[in-house]
Amino acid sequence: MAQFEPHKAEIESVPGSLVYIAAEKRAGIFKPEKYFEKHPISFPFLLDEDRSVTKSYGVYQRLRKDAFNIAAASTFVVDKNQKVQFAYVGSSQHDRAPLEQVLATLKRARS
């Protein structure tokens, strides 16, 4: 989220939407309501409590050195025809997609 928030105006300038998704339960360790009270975000946030979304995209991590029952850090750009135009699955929870690539793909996918 921190990666995209500073680029809010640029992201909003192209048709489409940015949605954050976390494989997290409402009452889980992350405590999303408390977190968002202290760290507001500009885009919608989906709690994938049953992990159905993260499993369908193939990024669910049952057990890994740095993950337990969550999604791998991932970024997808999906076009208006629901076709994935860009996919990046991080090798760790701190590995993020190159922002320039995501923004360029987003602009192409929305045109």
Structural domain range at position 21: 5-110
Neighbouring C-alpha atoms within 13 Å toward the C-beta of 9:
1
For the chain, the residue count is: 111
What pLDDT does 68 receive? 66
Q: What percent of the chain has pLDDT over 90?
A: 13
| pLDDT tens for each residue of 29-43 | 778 888 888 988 988
pLDDT band at 23 (very low <50, low <70, confident <90, very high): confident
Looking at the structure of the chain, the number of domains it has is 1
| pLDDT tens for each residue of 94-107 | 888 998 898 888 88
Q: Is the pTM of this model over 0.85?
A: no
DSSP-derived secondary structure for 73-98: SEEEEE-TTS-EEEEEE-SSTT----
Separation in Å, CA 111 to CA 16, 80, 86, 88: 10, 9, 15, 21
CATH of the domain at 102: 3.40.30.10
| pLDDT tens for each residue of 27-76 | 877 788 888 889 889 888 889 999 999 999 998 877 766 666 677 889 88
